[in-house]
Structures are given as structure tokens and as C-alpha cells.
Structure 1
Amino acid sequence: MTAKLTDAPVRVMIVDDHEVVRRGIVTVIDASPSLSVVGEASTVDEALRRLPAVRPEVLIVDLQLPDGTGIDVMRRARELEPLQKMLVLTSFDDDSALRESRAVGASGMLLKSSRSRDIVVAIERVAEGLTVWPARAPEEDDELSATDQRIVELIGDGCTNKEIADELGIAEKTVKNRITAILHALGLQRRTQVAAREAARRRAGWK
């Protein structure tokens, strides 16, 4: 699966056995010009039968299904398409689900209680190759790439986006995109929160 070369809507498939939930997400996606639902399924068997035909760019999977789990679907999806981008759909943000989902290659977790705009943003970010995991303790910074960790350090130093771009030898737009990804990975909303968090880290002597 390669990066998008056009402005065509992101192709999305949803696997969830609760029709009300599934239809609600379909409605949200269809209302966004950047996204398009190309497939739906309510069971593991149905999902595995439809996947090869619809070839979604982003696969959204409920963890609990009548004939198995979303993990089964995602594992098979990765066998069919090694670069398949996937989002877990769940009612509860729990550590075991998060660990299992990461292990099979999911890029993030989407709560069923999420607002419409958050659902759209999460799908768009995963389609772009970013991650959208819930916030965790500081130790979760290990999930950031070396470049992202350096960006966090430079934000803590008070550097502007342009200064960070010059320091790392990358485009300023890339810096903006990486900061957006960092905010999602750390469960934060503003750049200033990253700076404050980095300052607290340094005071506490965190590695």
C-alpha cells in the first residue's frame, strides 16, 4: 500500500457487530469529503471475505465480535496487505487491548464515545501514517521516534517551528505535522503543553 498521490477520499472499511454504532460512524465518515466508506462487516468471517475485494486504506475494527475478535481481523488484514493501516474501535480504553492492538500493527485506538470531528481526524491521521493512541504515563515517550523526541526537546528549549526545522534539516511543514502527531501520541492539545511537560520532565530528572 503506497502513499496517496491524489486528493481522492480515503477508503475506509468498518467492522462492528452493533449496527447502530456502525451506521453512526458510516454517517460521520460519509459527511466528510476527505473520507469514503467502501465496506462494512459485522463478523470476523464477513470481514475476511470482504477485505480482499474492497482493499481499504484504513480498516476500523471493533475488538469484540460474535465469532472472534478484532485482533483476528487485523492479523489477517496484515497478511493480505503488510502495510494495512488500522484503527481499533472500542468502548473501553484498557491497557491489554492497547497492547494487543499495537502488537498486530494497529495505528491507534478510537473510542465509540468519540465526537464526530475526532473520528474524522483520527482516520485522516492514520491514513497519513500517524498514530492516535490514548495518553499514557511519561514512559510512553518511548513510543516516539528519535526525531519526535528531539522535537520535544527543542520545544522545551523554546525553539520555534522554523528553528526546529533548521536544526533538524527538515521542512517547517514537516515539523508542524510531527508536532501534531506528538500531541496525539501524548494526549495533549497545545504546543505549550508539550513545553510544560518537557520542563517537568527535566526538573524530575526523567530520561
Structure 2
Amino acid sequence: MITVALVDDHEIVRRGVADLLESSDDIQVVAEASTLAQGLARIAATRPDVALLDLRLPDGSGIDLCREILSRMPEVRCVILTAYDDDDAVVAAVVAGASGYLLKDVRGPSLVEAVVAVASGKSLLHPAATRRVSERVRSESVDDPRFGSLNIRERQILNLITEGLTNRQIGERLGLKEKTVKNYASNMLRKLGLERRTQAAVYGRDHGQGSTT
């Protein structure tokens, strides 16, 4: 059972999303909140697998909440779910460590699939948002020497993270222990100056990773 927390200041939207998610036998909504402070408290109390966060809240932003959640509960997977198609917000969400950024025009079945994917360890961004983030990163990182600093194994790890694989799945693919994969991933993130796998996935897509094994 995948547990989910919803933080959105519009009750009708929140209830609609909750009803949609709970139509799946695999998902249970364990917490709801309408503000950043309330959301942080309820997420801390329930420790859900996934937190769906509205971008704009009465006392802050979903991105601020995402950053705070991950600093205290790094095991929680955060997804920004918003009506606002904003380049700067997408980049900020990635930097904050969000596992996804979805627009509220996403179809119901696709939202359920997204929650399941994120809960399994995959990183997910709206396709249009991914393109714009990649274009922005590309314009800022032409001939980035950081990528050249990665050894072959670290590039393999980056490639598979970009595909959305977890450490365990990467280990199975490459014949490595999960702890070894984690060490390679940590070194790769350090060399790239990144903090989270979501950032690495966006960086990897920009450098043509994720399409080969």
C-alpha cells in the first residue's frame, strides 16, 4: 500500500485528488493539509511514501515545504502538483529535490500512475517542463567539465538514474551490490555539484543519458 499526503489550500481540489487516488486499491491518503505549517506537521506525523504539494500555499510555497520535508524526512518523495506552468518554479522544484512536477491538467489515470512511479523510486516531471528545464540547463552548461570528470562506472550510474532506476535496480542491472551503487552515486553527485537524484536525472537528460544501458 502506497501512503500519500496532500497539501493544497483548495478543499474541493484536495478532496477530488484524494478520491481519485483512493479509487486505486494500491493507494491510501493518510494526511491532508491546507497550509505549509499544517502540512509539515501532518507529514511528520504520518511519514507518507509520497507528498503531493500545491505550489502556492497561504503561508509559503510547496517548494519551501518540499525542501523542509526532505531536510527532515529524506525518505518522503515530494511531487509539486500545480496549475502554474512556470519555468522558474520547475527549476526551483528540481533544485529543492522534488521527485516530480506535474500540472493539474494531468489526467486522473496518469496521476495515479505518477504516484506509483514516484513511490517506486522514479523521478517524474511533466514532459513539457522537462524540456524547458533541460534547455535552461543546456544553455548554462555548454562543455561542462563536470561531466568529463565522471569515470565510466559513474556515467553508467548517471545513465540509469536518468532512466528512473533505483539503487537496487541499478545493482541488478550492473551486477553490483546496492551499497556499491550508492557509493558510486554519491561520488557522481559530488563531482557534478548536485545534492539529489532528481537533479542528476535532469542533468543526465541534458547530456543525452537515459536512452542506452
Letter in 2 for 1:27: D
Q: Which moved more, 1:105-114 or 1:76-85?
A: 76-85
Residue in 1 aligned with 2:8? 16
Distance (Å, rounded) in 1 between the aligned partners of 2:75 and 2:18: 23
Within 5 Å, which residues of 2 pair with 1:111-130? 111-130=103-122
Instruction: Answer whether contact 2:7 2:34 (CA < 8 A) is retained.
Output: yes
Within 5 Å, which residues of 2 pair with 1:136-147? 136=131, 146-147=155-156
Residue in 2 aligned with 1:46? 38
Q: Which 5+ residue runs of structure 2 have no aligned equivalent?
A: 142-153, 161-172, 177-200, 203-209
Q: RMSD of the TM alignment (CA)?
A: 2.8
Instruction: Answer whether contact 1:11 1:35 (CA < 8 A) is retained.
Output: yes
Query: Of the candidates 119, 125, 128, which is equivalent to residue 133 of structure 1?
Result: 125
Q: TM-score w.r.t. structure 2 length? A: 0.62
**Secondary structure in 2 matching 1:130:** coil
Residue in 2 aligned with 1:173? none
Residue in 2 aligned with 1:107? 99
The question of 1:79 aligning with 2:71 is answered yes
C-alpha spacing 1:27/1:95, structure 2 compared with 1 (3 Å)? same
Q: Which 5+ residue runs of structure 1 have no aligned equivalent?
A: 1-8, 152-166, 171-184, 187-193, 199-207
Instruction: Answer whether contact 1:87 1:109 (CA < 8 A) is retained.
Output: yes
The question of 1:70 aligning with 2:62 is answered yes
Residue in 1 aligned with 2:17? 25
**Secondary structure in 2 matching 1:86:** strand
Distance (Å, rounded) in 2 between the aligned partners of 1:86 and 1:123: 10
Instruction: Answer whether contact 2:49 2:75 (CA < 8 A) is retained.
Output: no
Query: Of the candidates 10, 33, 53, which is equivalent to residue 61 of structure 1?
Result: 53
Residue in 2 aligned with 1:156? none
Q: Write the deviation string for residues 98-156 of structure 1: whole angstroms up to 9, x where unpaired.
A: 111111110111211111101001101110110111221665799xx9448868xxxxx
Give 1:168 deviation, angstroms: 5.7
Distance (Å, rounded) in 2 between the aligned partners of 1:57 and 1:129: 10
**Secondary structure in 1 matching 2:91:** helix
Q: TM-score w.r.t. structure 1 length? A: 0.64
Moved over 4 A (4+): 137-142, 148-151, 167-170
C-alpha spacing 1:11/1:68, structure 2 compared with 1 (3 Å)? same
Q: Which moved more, 1:91-100 or 1:120-129?
A: 91-100
Give 1:74 deviation, angstroms: 1.1
Give the total of aligned pairs.
150
Instruction: Answer whether contact 1:15 1:40 (CA < 8 A) is retained.
Output: yes
Distance (Å, rounded) in 2 between the aligned partners of 1:92 and 1:69: 12
Distance (Å, rounded) in 1 between the aligned partners of 2:125 and 2:34: 24
State, as a whole percentage, how many aligned pairs show the same letter.
39
